[in-house]
């Protein structure tokens, strides 16, 4: 009795799973590189507010940090009076700027009012105090 044997199939490499793996790795590395962006700014823990609007055009940013330093567009200044002189100079060169005040949550209320009063003394009309939307617990960098 003779048994009929089927010819053995040749081994072959399946390329479809390898393509799937390569696409997965491509997407993974694309997302990983997007999260590696660095934000160069000053960390300020902003208070929260419900009526936040991002329509204000930022021209001048004044920042009060937790340790009491004042920054005028990322340049440290000594006092609110120096902010007044810089804003007055800018008023002479351009139209009145919009000023955004970034004050850390732990800064005393009096320091924020002092800076706000200094901004008003320079003749600036458009002033906004930066807040983060409710439910956002991340630190904002300006």
- Domain boundaries, given as residue ranges, for the chain: 59-131
10-49 tens-digit pLDDT: 888 889 999 999 999 999 999 888 887 666 677 788 788 7
* Count of beta carbons in the 10 Å neighbourhood of residue 62: 27
**Which residue, among 62, 99, 92, has the nearest Cα to 79 in the 3D structure?**
62
Mean pLDDT on 115-138: 80
pLDDT at 57: 52
Please state whether the predicted TM-score (pTM) of the whole model is above 0.75. Answer: no
pLDDT at 38: 65
SS3 96: coil
pLDDT at 76: 87
**Which one of 3.30.70, 2.40.160, 3.30.420, 3.30.1220 gives the CATH number of domain 59-131?**
3.30.420
118-129 tens-digit pLDDT: 888 888 888 888
**Which residue, among 135, 69, 54, 66, has the nearest Cα to 100 in the 3D structure?**
54
Strand 70-72 relative to strand 127-129, pairing: unpaired
Residue of 94 and 119 predicted with greater confidence: 119
Grade residue 105 by pLDDT with cuts at 50, 70 and 90.
Answer: confident
Distances 49 to 52, 54, 99, 111 between C-alpha atoms, Å: 6, 12, 18, 20
Q: Is the dihedral of CA 37, 55, 135, 105 positive or negative?
A: positive
Grade residue 56 by pLDDT with cuts at 50, 70 and 90.
Answer: very low
Residue 50 and residue 134 in contact, taking contact as beta carbons nearer than 8 Å: yes
């Amino acid at each position: 009795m003779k048994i009929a044997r089927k010819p053995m199939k040749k081994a072959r490499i399946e390329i479809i799973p390898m393509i799937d793996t390569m696409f997965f790795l491509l997407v993974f590395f694309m997302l990983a590189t997007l999260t590696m962006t660095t934000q160069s700014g000053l960390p300020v823990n902003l208070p929260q507010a419900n009526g936040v609007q991002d329509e204000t055009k930022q021209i001048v940013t004044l920042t009060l940090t937790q340790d009491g330093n004042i920054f005028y567009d990322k340049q440290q200044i000594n006092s609110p009076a120096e902010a007044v002189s810089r804003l007055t100079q800018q008023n002479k060169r351009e139209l009145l700027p919009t000023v955004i005040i970034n004050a850390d949550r732990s800064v005393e209320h009096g320091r924020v009012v002092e800076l706000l009063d200094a901004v008003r003394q320079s003749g600036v009309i458009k002033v906004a105090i930066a807040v983060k939307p409710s439910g956002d617990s991340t630190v904002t960098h300006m």
